[in-house]
């Protein structure tokens, strides 16, 4: 059975481009404005990552750290994040993904978290700080519930690590462009083509590259080698300023074309 996630990547491939995956933190800068920005972003993006705000986002740079803090101070919670996903599912059939650190899952309880995600219409989870070899209970629970899981790989990942991660990715494979944190950068890191090539030599699952995509130029560079382009910090910055995401999202979508 083809999933919404796979359909999104297949549709982008049919149009000879990489899939555009946009990221916004739930509740940022407010609950209502998040929904408005997300609706605009979904006019261009193929998939939407909803960040679950967390107090210690070790993989995120200053922009998303600050946004998470604002969301938390505004009262955003795990259930609030699911409420935001539920509101978006009511208006779109595009894939919705929750990007979350493991602690909120652990605090909620794996079964309860997965059940709530599925009920809210979420298609998958992206897990930046949980390697699959430490997810021995989460993986079967998610698989049974039909919730897709995406784990991360970095330029330093070995062939054995790539095999382990790709075997356990049921949504897509998330390739981190740098050995660092999220944040917009001016150029595509030189490690990206080699990392994507090494992943594709082992797996035929879609590979999306994130951390550092700021504009059409960097998106275009990644689109030449990867199946998806993840864009976060630049969109978060604009949302925080109250700017419309329409023009930037359209620009990045064009950049995803090959």
CA atoms within 13 A on the CB side of 123: 24
* Residue 130, burial from CB neighbour count under 10 angstroms (0-12, 13-18, 19+): buried
Is 49 an active-site residue? yes
**Read out DSSP for 72-94?**
HHTT--HHHHHHHHHHHHTT--S
SS3 189: coil
**The one catalytic residue among 46, 60, 123, 227:** 60
251 flagged as catalytic: no
Angle, CA of 165, 45 and 90, to the nearest 5° = 95
Considering the candidates 49, 79, 83, 111, report the single residue annotated as catalytic: 49
Dihedrals phi, psi of 11, to nearest 5 degrees? -65, -45
Query: Of 22, 24, 19, which is closest to residue 7 (Cα–Cα)?
Result: 19
Quote the CA–CA distance of 136 and 106 in Å, as a whole number. Answer: 13
| Tokens representing residue 75 in the block | 């009262």
- Residues annotated catalytic, as ranges: 49, 60
């Amino acid at each position: 059975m083809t999933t919404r996630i796979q359909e999104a990547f297949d549709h982008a491939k049919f149009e000879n481009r990489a899939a555009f995956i946009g990221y916004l933190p739930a509740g940022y800068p407010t609950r209502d404005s998040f929904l408005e920005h997300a609706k605009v972003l979904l006019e261009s993006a193929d998939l939407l990552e909803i960040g679950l705000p967390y107090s210690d986002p070790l993989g995120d740079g200053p922009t998303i750290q600050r946004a998470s803090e604002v969301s938390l101070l505004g009262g955003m919670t795990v259930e609030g994040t699911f409420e935001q996903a539920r509101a978006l599912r009511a208006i779109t059939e595009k894939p919705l993904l929750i990007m979350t650190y493991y602690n909120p899952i652990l605090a909620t309880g794996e079964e309860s978290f997965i059940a709530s995600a599925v009920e809210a219409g979420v298609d998958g989870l992206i897990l930046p700080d949980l390697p699959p070899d430490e997810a021995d209970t989460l993986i079967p629970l998610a698989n049974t519930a039909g919730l897709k899981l995406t784990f991360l790989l970095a330029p330093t990942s070995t062939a054995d690590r790539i095999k382990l991660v790709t075997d356990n990715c049921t949504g897509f494979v998330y390739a981190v462009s740098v050995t660092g944190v999220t944040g917009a950068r001016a150029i595509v890191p030189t490690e990206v083509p080699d990392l994507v090539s090494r992943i594709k030599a082992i797996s035929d699952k879609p590979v999306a590259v994130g951390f550092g995509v700021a504009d059409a130029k960097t998106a275009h560079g990644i689109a030449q080698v990867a199946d998806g382009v993840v864009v976060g910090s630049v969109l978060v910055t604009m949302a925080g300023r109250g700017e419309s995401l329409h023009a930037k999202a359209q620009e990045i979508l064009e950049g995803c074309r090959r």
